[in-house]
Each structure stands twice: as structure tokens, then as C-alpha cells.
Amino acid sequence: MMPGPLLTITIGETARYGLIAAPLIVLGHALLELLFVGATAAGLTGFLTQGVSKWLAVMGGAFMLLMGWGMFRDVLLRRVSLAQIHGKASTDEMLPGESKYYLNYGMLVLSGILISL
């Protein structure tokens, strides 16, 4: 197996949000895989015609380009730093025990789903 887009997004988002990102992205991937297994068991494999497969490939490629640009932009704007990796991100105006990124957890799961398409 070679590293692919799921590993790329996991590394990038873990650098941004910390260790919580990895299991959330994997959860999104697992949910999509379960959906595919269920669809296959239900006999819906005929849905994936050549036209649908090409559309999914183009959309997946566009999404990967968008993610790559976002990671590159974050590096240029210095949004990703070693301080964030070690859990020392800014905690301005936060309550004790409150996560700065709690609203983004759903987006991490969604990233795992979208990158797996």
C-alpha cells in the first residue's frame, strides 16, 4: 500500500487541530466504507456506471487540489506551527476545558468522508 490522500489530509489536519483530528478523519472514512458495504449488499452496484465513476473521479481530483491549495496557503500564512502540534495553540477568550476547535470536529469527519470518495 502507498500513502494516499487520506494520509495526506490526516497529516495536514493533525498539524492544524492536534491528535484528535486523526481518529475523526478515520471515523469519516469508516462511515463511508460502511455505507458502500451496505449499498453493495443491497445490490446497488449497478448505480456506479461509467458516467458516475468519471464524475466522482473529477470531483475527487478537484477536492484534492482544493485541499492541497489550502495546506499550501496555511503554510504561507503561518497558520500551521510546531506550537499547535504540541498543544500550545492560543487560548484567547476560552473557558477552562473548552476546545478552540470543537466546532470543526464535524468538518474533520466530513473530510474523512469526502477524501474517501
Q: How far apart are CA 12 and CA 72, in angstroms?
A: 10
The SS3 assignment for 20 reads coil
pLDDT at 100 over 70: no
The three state secondary structure string of 42-95 is: CCHHHHCCHHHHHHHHHHHHHHHHHHHHHHHHHHHCCCCCHHHHCCCCCCCCCC
Q: Which three cell numbers stand for residue 103?
A: 466546532
| pLDDT tens figures, 14-69 | 888 888 889 999 999 999 999 988 988 888 777 777 777 788 888 888 888 887 88
Please answer whether residues 115 and 12 qualify as being in contact, where contact means their C-beta atoms are separated by less than 8 angstroms.
Answer: no
pLDDT of amino acid 81 = 63
